[in-house]
């Protein structure tokens, strides 16, 4: 086995020793400068340096970025309130890069700067064995790695918005690694009648949410990693609770305490999301079936007629995406889109559809059907279901999962077609 | 090594990872207050005393001298006259919240910003009483709030909110709703 490699090394050494390598290199260099048939090279070459060793960076030609959500300045005047939307239009595949993950804060906090070696998680309340874990101890326990989206309750589209970043940028998707909360709750031993947990962060206001025990024991995950590295500070470093498919605020960041309790605790976060209407409350809890066409989307320009791959993202808080349908005639005819990859529960799923644009004005839409049979509605369908009087503006109750229409003008420009 | 195995074997848990917190640790960490007020500490306060604390502790600096005119969230119900449905006063904690315990809990855990956890139970009871007084939830500025009386305060929205439905895996979010 060794002899072949040895002989290769030997040949290489002899070649280098002979001086032919240097002479040949010089000749090649000269040729590339003089030959007019050579293709143009890159703008420049980046020389290796010590600061390129530890952590990579993107090309200076790639400048996609997050923007403040909802037309308000982020951060706010105190410097604590961030609501920033991810550039979906620049994303490929289903993973949101950690640097571009959307962010919404839990009602006002500066970003906690937490030393993971000092961080502790306590589980207590209605349990047989209250427990405290260090981060290292949590990492010793059996882990899971799963794809899940997180979406802000405020990810709501309206007619004044232009781009998909504005209409849908308050959702992002990552691969998360951590310990299932059920693993820890089984360690602690949940007592009879403990129907809720209160999950609490470490930030100034110690954002806390009441989460049903059924969810805590089902698929709730305490994540210490996202996209292959520790969870980012804006996402809850060193530990974030993920309640897959629940509205963003339930996904408690900077998690330090799980209290097992016998009642809904009406925390400040809970109170902030209250509504008077039971249907609205239900629709603002588990996220509904939802999708959006990302290519093409608002603000883009089709260069001309011909073939386009229409593509976008679909997801549901109820489970896996089962199907995605696309229409190019404003909802008259629907076609099955192709699902790319294996849909994961409560995860962004890529869909694509082959389309020939003939140059006429038209309207593209997509709709998601999830594994529970829930179908993403148009705004008109929502209006009809709730008997909205004709002419009255339709407001989607709870979390907005309505179909996003994009209108293609005959000049190829793409526009938000929400009325 | 042997000792480690013995310790694990005696552990009531499957993995034997993590440690048991002391009662003092749990007490120090446990700041969540149930609507029934179970965890409320000893101590007491009045709106009269709370008005003092509101200025002494710098609350007015962010929330405004009247609790209506600062950069921080408004603390007094919207000026819309007397309403049949208290929901209309706005999403303002001491008037919207169904339970006074949430007001106490949030002041205690999160305020004053940058010096959270420094208020004494008496001060938190007093501030809670002051905010409830400003919102006409209580009308007597000498009324004493403590762990007995606070959970009994009847907030105008106590029965005026929708509980989220019981949640189970693989269920549509709202029965009968196709979307």
Contact yes or no for B161 and A275 at CB 8 A: yes
Q: Which of A103-117, A242-256, A392-406 is the least confident region?
A: A103-117
Provide φ and ψ at A259, rounded to 5°.
-110, 125
Considering only CA atoms, give the Rg of chain B: 21
Nearest C-alpha of chain B: how many angstroms from A7?
A: 50
A317 touches chain B (CB under 8 A): yes
Contact yes or no for B172 and A374 at CB 8 A: yes
Which of A214, A276, A401 lies closest to B87 in CB terms? A276
Pairing type for strands A67-68 and A83-85 reads antiparallel
Quote the pLDDT of residue B179. Answer: 94
Nearest C-alpha of chain B: how many angstroms from A180?
A: 14
Residue of A nearest to B117 (CA): A204
A382 touches chain B (CB under 8 A): yes
Pairing type for strands A171-180 and A196-201 reads unpaired
Asked whether the CA dihedral A88, A92, A96, A99 is positive or negative, the reply is negative
Tokens of A130: 């209250």
Contact yes or no for A122 and B13 at CB 8 A: no
For Cα atoms A395, A398, A402, give the angle at the middle one, nearest 5 degrees.
60
Chain A residue numbers with beta carbons less than 8 Å from the beta carbon of B179 are 288-289, 374-377, 381-382, 385, 401
Q: Residue B87 pLDDT more than 80?
A: yes
Quote the pLDDT of residue A70. Answer: 87
Quote the pLDDT of residue A73. Answer: 83
Quote the pLDDT of residue A106. Answer: 64
B40 in Cβ contact with B151 (< 8 Å): yes
Quote the pLDDT of residue A107. Answer: 63
Residues A160-188, mean pLDDT to the nearest whole number: 98
User: Residue B7: which pLDDT band, with cuts at 50, 70 and 90?
Assistant: very low
Q: Residue A405 pLDDT more than 80?
A: yes
Residues B68-96, mean pLDDT to the nearest whole number: 95
Quote the pLDDT of residue A30. Answer: 45
Chain B residue numbers with beta carbons less than 8 Å from the beta carbon of A317 are 173
A259 in Cβ contact with A197 (< 8 Å): yes
Q: Residue A286 pLDDT more than 90?
A: yes
β-sheet with A338-340: strand ranges across: A290-295, A306-315, A349-357, A338-340
User: Residue A19: which pLDDT band, with cuts at 50, 70 and 90?
Assistant: low
Contact yes or no for A189 and B12 at CB 8 A: yes
Smallest Cα–Cα separation from A244: which of A271, A222, A229? A222
Residues 280-299 of A with CB under 8 A from B: 280-283, 285-289
Q: What percent of chain B has pLDDT over 90?
A: 90
Chain A residue numbers with beta carbons less than 8 Å from the beta carbon of B30 are 124, 257, 259
Quote the pLDDT of residue A80. Answer: 77
Quote the pLDDT of residue A64. Answer: 96
Residue of A nearest to B95 (CA): A271
Tokens of B153: 């305060």
pLDDT in tens, A202-245: 998 999 999 999 999 999 999 999 999 999 999 999 999 999 99
A236: left (phi over 0), alpha (psi -120 to 50) or beta: left
Q: For chain A, list the domains and their CATH numbers.
A: 67-274 (3.90.420.10), 290-416 (2.60.40.650)
Pairing type for strands A131-134 and A144-151 reads unpaired
Q: What percent of chain A has pLDDT over 90?
A: 82
pLDDT in tens, B146-163: 999 999 999 999 999 999
Query: CA A355 to CA A307: how far, in whole Å?
Result: 6
pLDDT in tens, A20-42: 545 444 444 444 455 567 899 99
Q: For chain B, list the domains and their CATH numbers.
A: 52-156 (1.10.760.10)
Q: Which helix (H) or strand (E) holds A340?
A: strand A338-340
Quote the pLDDT of residue A13. Answer: 56
Running DSSP on this structure, what letter comes out for residue A43? S
pLDDT in tens, B12-53: 789 999 999 999 999 999 999 999 999 999 999 999 999 999
A247 touches chain B (CB under 8 A): no
pLDDT in tens, A159-169: 999 999 999 99
Residue of B nearest to A139 (CA): B17
Quote the pLDDT of residue B125. Answer: 98
User: Residue A6: which pLDDT band, with cuts at 50, 70 and 90?
Assistant: low
Nearest C-alpha of chain B: how many angstroms from A117?
A: 14
Contact yes or no for B72 and A78 at CB 8 A: yes
Candidates B117, B157, B174, B176, partner chain A, best to mutate (most A CBs within 10 A): B174
pLDDT in tens, A340-356: 999 999 999 999 999 99
Chain B residue numbers with beta carbons less than 8 Å from the beta carbon of A374 are 172-173, 178-179
- H helix runs in A19-72, sequence order: 20-34
Which residue in the block uniquely carries the two structure tokens 């000749």?
Answer: A27
Query: CA A149 to CA A350: how far, in whole Å?
Result: 13
Chain A residue numbers with beta carbons less than 8 Å from the beta carbon of B26 are 122, 124, 130
User: Residue B8: which pLDDT band, with cuts at 50, 70 and 90?
Assistant: very low
């Amino acid at each position: 086995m060794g002899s072949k490699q040895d002989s290769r090394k030997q040949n290489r050494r002899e070649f280098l020793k002979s001086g032919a390598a240097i002479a040949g290199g010089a000749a090649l260099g000269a040729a590339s400068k003089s030959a007019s048939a050579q293709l143009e090279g890159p703008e420049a070459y980046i020389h290796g340096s010590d600061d390129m060793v530890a952590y990579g960076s993107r090309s200076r030609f790639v400048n996609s970025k997050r923007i403040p959500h909802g037309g308000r300045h982020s951060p706010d005047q105190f410097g604590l309130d961030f609501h920033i939307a991810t550039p979906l239009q620049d994303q490929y595949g289903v993973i949101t890069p950690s640097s571009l993950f959307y962010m919404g804060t839990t009602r006002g906090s500066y970003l906690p700067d937490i030393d993971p070696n000092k961080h502790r998680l306590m589980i207590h309340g209605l349990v047989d064995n209250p427990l405290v874990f260090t981060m290292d101890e949590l990492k010793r326990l059996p882990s899971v790695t799963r794809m899940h989206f997180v979406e802000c309750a405020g990810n709501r589209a309206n007619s004044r918005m232009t781009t998909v970043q504005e209409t849908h940028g308050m959702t992002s998707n990552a691969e998360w690694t951590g310990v299932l909360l059920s693993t820890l709750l089984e360690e602690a031993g949940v007592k009879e009648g403990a129907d809720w947990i209160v999950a609490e962060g470490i930030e100034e206001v110690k954002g806390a949410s009441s989460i049903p025990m059924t969810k805590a024991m089902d698929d709730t995950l305490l994540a210490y990693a996202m996209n292959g590295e520790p969870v980012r500070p804006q996402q809850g470093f060193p530990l974030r609770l993920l309640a897959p498919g629940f509205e963003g605020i339930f996904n408690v960041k900077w998690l330090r305490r799980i209290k097992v309790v016998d009642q809904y605790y009406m925390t400040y976060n809970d109170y902030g999301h209250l509504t008077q209407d039971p249907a609205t409350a239900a629709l603002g809890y588990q996220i509904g079936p939802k999708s959006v066409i990302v290519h093409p989307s608002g603000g883009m320009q089709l260069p001309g007629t011909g073939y386009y791959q229409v593509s976008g993202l679909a997801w549901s808080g109820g489970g896996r995406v089962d199907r995605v349908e696309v229409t190019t005639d404003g909802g008259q005819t629907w076609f099955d889109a192709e699902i790319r990859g294996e849909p994961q529960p409560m995860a962004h799923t890529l869909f694509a559809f082959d389309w020939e644009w003939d140059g006429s004005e038209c309207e593209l839409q997509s709709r998601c059907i999830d594994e529970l049979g829930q179908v993403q509605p148009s705004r008109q369908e929502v209006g009809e279901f709730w008997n909205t009087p004709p002419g009255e503006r339709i407001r989607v109750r709870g979390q907005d999962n309505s179909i996003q229409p994009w209108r293609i003008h005959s000049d190829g420009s793409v526009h938000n077609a929400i009325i | 090594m042997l000792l480690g195995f013995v310790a694990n074997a005696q552990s009531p848990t499957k993995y034997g990872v993590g440690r048991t917190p002391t009662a003092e640790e749990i007490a120090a960490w446990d700041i969540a207050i149930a609507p029934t007020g179970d965890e409320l500490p000893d101590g007491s306060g009045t709106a009269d005393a709370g008005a003092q604390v509101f200025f002494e502790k710098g609350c007015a600096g962010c929330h405004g001298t009247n609790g209506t005119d600062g950069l921080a969230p408004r603390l007094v119900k919207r000026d819309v006259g007397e309403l049949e449905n208290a929901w209309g006063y706005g999403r303002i904690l001491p008037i919207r919240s169904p339970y006074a315990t949430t007001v106490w809990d949030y002041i205690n855990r999160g305020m004053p910003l940058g010096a959270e956890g420094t208020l004494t139970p008496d001060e938190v009871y007093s501030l809670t009483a002051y905010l409830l007084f400003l919102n006409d939830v209580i009308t007597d500025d000498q009324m004493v709030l403590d762990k007995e009386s606070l959970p009994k305060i009847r907030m105008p929205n106590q029965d005026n909110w929708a509980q989220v439905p019981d949640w189970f895996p693989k269920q549509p979010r709202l029965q009968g709703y196709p979307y």
